[in-house]
Amino acid sequence: MRFRVLGPWEAGDVLVPPGRLRILLVALLLSAGRPVTIEALAERLWPEGEPDSVRGTVHTYVTRLRRLLGRDLIQTAAARGGYRLDVPLDDLDLHRFRELLRRSRDGAGHDEELRLLRAALALWRGRPFTGVESVWLDREIIPRLDEEWFAATERRIDLELDAGPPDRLVAELRGLADGHPTRESLWHRLIVALHRSGRRAEALDAYTRIRTTLREGFGIDPCAELQHLHRSILQEPAATPAAKGPRPRQLPHGIARFSGRKAELAELDRLCGTDQSPTAIVALDGAPGTGKTTLAVHWAHRIAGRYPDAQLYLNLNGYGPGQPVTPAAALATLLRGLWVAGDLIPPGVEERAALLRTTLADRRVLLVLDNARDADQVRALLPGSGGLVIVTSRSQLRGLSIRDGAHRVTLHRLSAGESAGLLSAAIPADRLAAEPGAAARLIELCAGLPLALAIVAERAHRAGSLAEVVHALQDEKARLDNFGAGEGDPHTDLRAALSWSYQALGPDAAAMLDRLGRHPAGTIGLESAAALADRPPAEAKRALDQLVAAHMVQQPRPDRYELHDLIRLYAAERPGDEAATTRLLEWYLHTAVSADTTLMPNRLRDFLVPYTPRTAPRTFADQAAAMAWFEEEYDGLRAVVAWAAAHGRPGYAWRIAIAMTTFLDRRIPWRDGVEFLEAAVRAAELAEERAGVGYTRNSLGCILLDRRDFARAEDCFARALVRFRSMGNRYGEAMALGNLGLARISVGDPAYGRELCRAAQEMCERDGYRRGVALNLDNLGMANVALGEHDRAVECHRRAAELFHELGETEIGAWNEQNLGRAYAAAGRYAESVRSLRLAAATLRRLGHRRQEANLLVDLGDTLLAAGHPKMARGCWRTALEAMRELSDPRVPALEAAIAGV
């Protein structure tokens, strides 16, 4: 039987009633394998005063406990007149915690010690012995355990500081120091982390805060170690902030046998041959297939050494399938490439552009923006100074030249001499000399387009003769108009070359290319490509490797692939395969549901996956892996949702969007989330699926409620409720009803809100939906606080906490714990409020839920202020304000005013 005491109390599958029976079991557990005298047990059971018949009463409790656990577990220790609990020590998480700490101290190397400490600390799930009310535990055991946790945590932080980078520990240390404002050891580590991160001013400010706290609260100065650290920082010159990641080197692989374009290269060198303080902009424009990207990348590699700080590349998808990349999305991609965390990227284009300019300030940066649609798509992406921007486009980008001073370089088709040079760079000279007529004919048929020449050269390597290649092209000419005539649409000139290149592929690679043309995203992951092709990932990878070798597909990084625009157009024209499209949509849907299930295990999702997928979705080991997948695939998921909505598959569009709601809530700015879910609502309405309309409106309402847009949120919930009732969907009805109640509470109508939440709770109880019961108990607690019924509120939140714990709902449980803290604060029970809020904060910090943690810190500051600790309150609010500003939270002005008023 497993016992867990480092957090909410658990005794295996046995329900031990709260009260002295639990205290007795804890007292025996802490001395497992050793006898505990009746006198010692009595002191722990009745610290306020023992009953008249101590031995008889203890024996009665032991008898009751034996009935629950089994008689063999509790033995009578006759020699000492007490009892002994016979369970393996490893059955108690506290013993495992201490054993891991012991092993970490026994000469383990750095990495092994860090691994053992992390494993030990992972056993903690919150405040020890939650659910066991005991003066003995509160007075003697829990404080000692807290110190053990602090010692282990501080040693783990020391090891991670040594391993670097230090800035990733700053947020955690801020939270710890704010939560324990007089613990000097935490402030010492925070100051060290800030200093090593190059944040000297913040390090000095942190020292000022702890010194002020100690002087005003206790009349003492910081310890000698802190004072020494402070003096050493003051004596050092200001440091440059440490980099948050490796310097970006994103340029695609250049062509080793690049040939031609000497005049253009000379012009480019002349335009940007000297260092310039303002940003230089070069726009390469020309028809499709003229080699704009190839030239841009080749020249970028030649001059990359002048720009050591960052070399960035982004395909803007201005021409091709799907929609061009919006300036907002492009800015987000560039910022992520510069190691700006996703939850720090503001929502608006102007704010993102300003953050990009700030991030690139005083840095020598080379930025390649490929395949731009127009000047407006590019303008917001321009750095402020000190860099070079290379833009390629089929448009002349005259606006970028006139308004922004871009230097235009137009690429025309290659001359016959340049075409011959390009061909001779790829085909051995003896083969060209042996068939001069065929070589000349190839150059003519390719019409001076570098892409066509490159494909022809690759074909020639496989063919027996150049004449054979010419014959293949001429055969294609019979089926396509104007091929090789030098007139008409350049796209048409390439179709034949693409066709014979396609025919030279092996069957698996050819089938893969057919499928890739149906993928709506700009970059394609290996697993989604495997789903398209209906092949195991290993087989799909072999086919993709063949396409990469044939220059039909690019591979910008491991297991990620891209198609050149023209090749994608050709692949998309291949005979349709609706089954492949369905497999792809199913894979994205079921994988998104799998990731969301990992993040939020007990949410009902049957309506999202009403069938078994034909292609196995990806599974995730933990929440970190699920969040990483959402981060990597976010752009692709948006493209898939937009494509499905526009191409007769709106059911997939809204379902995938709903499966992303947990990720949207944790990481995506509210404005982006609202726009995304509004599109999902339209997709569900287009699909004429009442359930979809209900669920998407409900999810949209939740984000609007968080944004405090109460009127729109209430409208969404009310409409969702009507939809669910019209179709007899009781789960959806209860969900929307509870959320509508929460909206009414938020707008100042708690009495009606409580009625709605109670009705939703009763529906969930009748249907056996325990998660819904817990959610509505949480809602009822908030309603009772608003109505001034604080004891009822506390009881509701406690009942919800038990259910969330039983269900393993970590994140929602933390939200409820936060609301319990609010209820305690409203009742004037400030110590209990602080305890609940800190417990919730630790959980949210571990989950990386920055927005909700900031919200909680506001509540903690409110409680501390009410309890008479204004300086501690201001510290909490400042920490919250930092996060809220980064997330463009609309509550920033109110919080700034609160800080100023304290």
Across all residues in the chain, what is the average pLDDT? Answer: 84
Residue 698: which residues within 8 A CB-CB, separation 6 or more? 716, 717, 720, 732, 735, 736, 739
pLDDT tens-digit series, residues 692-751: 899 999 999 998 998 889 999 999 999 999 999 999 999 999 999 999 999 999 999 999
* 743/834 same-domain check: no
pLDDT for residue 438 is more than 90: no
- As to burial, measured by CB atoms within 10 angstroms (0-12 exposed, 13-18 middle, 19+ buried), residue 305 is exposed
* 683/723 same-domain check: yes
Q: Are strands 82-85 and 74-77 parallel, antiparallel or unpaired?
A: antiparallel
pLDDT tens-digit series, residues 279-296: 689 999 876 677 888 899
Confidence at 478, pLDDT banded by 50, 70, 90: very low
* 386/490 same-domain check: no
Crossing angle (nearest 10°) for helices 892-901 and 870-886: 160
Confidence at 480, pLDDT banded by 50, 70, 90: very low
Residue 62 lies in a domain: no
Q: What is the pLDDT of residue 50?
A: 78
Confidence at 186, pLDDT banded by 50, 70, 90: very high
Query: Among residues 777, 803, 825, which one ends one of the domains?
Result: 825
pLDDT tens-digit series, residues 396-420: 787 888 888 888 888 887 888 888 8
Residue 203 lies in a domain: no
- Say how many domains are in the chain: 5
DSSP strands (E only) in 269-356: 280-286, 310-315
* 572/709 same-domain check: no
* 284/367 same-domain check: yes
Residue 521 lies in a domain: yes
User: Which range marks the domain in which residue 773 is found?
Assistant: 587-825
How far apart CA 524 and CA 636 sit, in angstroms, is 8
How far apart CA 327 and CA 335 sit, in angstroms, is 12
Of 125-129, 324-328, 753-757, give the range with the top mean pLDDT: 753-757
Q: What is the pLDDT of residue 481?
A: 35
* 754/605 same-domain check: yes
Report the range of poorest mean pLDDT among 735-744, 843-852, 891-900.
Answer: 843-852
* 635/744 same-domain check: yes
Confidence at 321, pLDDT banded by 50, 70, 90: low
Query: Among residues 503, 531, 550, which one ends one of the domains?
Result: 503
How far apart CA 482 and CA 463 sit, in angstroms, is 25
pLDDT tens-digit series, residues 647-679: 888 889 999 999 998 888 877 777 788 888 998
Q: What is the pLDDT of residue 277?
A: 46
Domain with residue 633: its CATH number is 1.25.40.10
Q: What is the pLDDT of residue 553?
A: 82
The SS3 of residue 348 is: coil
* 618/750 same-domain check: yes
pLDDT for residue 775 is more than 90: yes
* 468/529 same-domain check: no
Q: What is the pLDDT of residue 610?
A: 65
Residue 233 lies in a domain: no
* 600/632 same-domain check: yes
* 846/803 same-domain check: no
Query: Among residues 532, 552, 576, which one ends one of the domains?
Result: 576
Cis? peptide before 165, omega within 30° of 0: yes
- As to burial, measured by CB atoms within 10 angstroms (0-12 exposed, 13-18 middle, 19+ buried), residue 405 is exposed
Q: What is the pLDDT of residue 436?
A: 87
Residue 122 lies in a domain: no
Write out the H or E segment, with its range, that includes residue 682.
helix 670-687
**Residues 203-211: what's their mean pLDDT?**
89
Residue 94 lies in a domain: no
**Residues 221-239: what's their mean pLDDT?**
76
pLDDT for residue 550 is more than 70: no
Where b means 16+ CB within 10 Å and e means fewer, 374-398 reads bbebbebbbbeebbbbbbbbbbebe
Residue 92 lies in a domain: no
* 570/592 same-domain check: no
pLDDT tens-digit series, residues 28-65: 988 888 888 888 888 888 887 777 788 888 888 888 88
Helix and strand totals (H; E) in the chain: 43, 13
Nearest alpha-carbon partner for 820 in 775, 781, 770, 768: 781
Residue 188 lies in a domain: no
Domain with residue 522: its CATH number is 1.10.10.10
How far apart CA 737 and CA 759 sit, in angstroms, is 8
